[in-house]
Amino acid sequence: MAGPLLRMDAIEKSFGAIRALKGVSLALERGEALALVGDNAAGKSTLMKVLSGAVIPDRGRIFLEGKPVAFRDPQDARRLGIEMVYQDLSLCDSVDVGKNLFLGREPVRRIAGIPVLDDAVLYRRTAEMLAGLDIQVASVRLPVRLLSGGQRQAIAIARAVSFQPRILILDEPTAALAVKEVEKVLALAQRLKGQGVAIILITHRLQDIFRVCDRVMVMFEGENVAERSIAETTLEEVVRLIVRAA
């Protein structure tokens, strides 16, 4: 098929006097893993919120498989196969693993015509989904606040994956994790990429992009300042691009 899976073209967004995005363009191929890097406040999260429908851009266009699209909210983006896992995860802490995965779309069955929650199906499907992604938790009935940071991140990713996205955006998925947990989350991202999901990974852990990503895009003060194929760059060069010391 001709053309990229996704193209964002000259996206602009201001918050009051702050010009968070000053005309940023981005392309993503099918099944590609793109790293999005840059200093704090460079505009990475805002750009991805535009892509996931959480922020409405002031200007600019988005094309999916060459067709112009516009998102009014995250549901619009979800319908077209775009999911974002936020830095703060948006899980319900007091709710268990299974109910977090199925939040807002709990399976129901009917007893004498009256719909009742079908917990047996919910927990069985949760266990199947987690097994399919090689995610381990002690129990699908554990409130997520009792999980480790890495497990919580994995559950948030599993929830996003359950919508069968074509594009999965991960915003700093390893920022708050212990080293061993970082490995698991990276392995999960790699597995999803292997399944054909295109991934956009925002991270400050630059060593990770060399393991998971095909390409890196560098943002600086609301602009896309560089793009490199991972095979053709080095950690040192990416650092230089980020701080613009080159």
> Applying CB under 5 A, which residues contact Mg ion?
45
Work out how close the CB of 116 gets to ligand ADP at its nearest, in angstroms, rounded to a whole number: 40
Work out how close the CB of 16 gets to ligand ADP at its nearest, in angstroms, rounded to a whole number: 7
Region binding ligand ADP by CB under 6 A among candidate stretches 35-43, 57-65, 95-103, 142-150 = 35-43
14 strand-pairing partners: 19
Backbone torsion region of residue 188, taken as left when φ is above 0, otherwise alpha when ψ lies between -120 and 50, otherwise beta:
alpha
3 state DSSP class of 157: helix
- Is the Cβ of residue 44 or residue 99 nearer to Mg ion in the bound state? 44
Which of Mg ion, ligand ADP, none has residue 152 at its interface (CB below 5 to 8 Å by kind)?
A: none
- Is the Cβ of residue 102 or residue 220 nearer to ligand ADP in the bound state? 220
Interstrand relation of 114-117 and 223-229 (parallel, antiparallel or unpaired): unpaired
Alpha carbon dihedral 239, 189, 54, 10, in 10-degree steps, equals 50
Work out how close the CB of 45 gets to Mg ion at its nearest, in angstroms, rounded to a whole number: 3
Count of other CB atoms within 10 angstroms of residue 121: 15
When CB distances to Mg ion are compared, the closest residue is 45
Residue with tokens 């060593």: 207
- Is the Cβ of residue 45 or residue 126 nearer to ligand ADP in the bound state? 45
Site for ligand ADP in 37-76 (CB under 6 A): 38, 40-46
Work out how close the CB of 7 gets to ligand ADP at its nearest, in angstroms, rounded to a whole number: 20
d(CA 190, CA 148): 21
- Cα 234 to the center of its chain, rounded Å: 24
Contact positions vs ligand ADP (CB under 6 A):
15, 18, 20, 38, 40-46
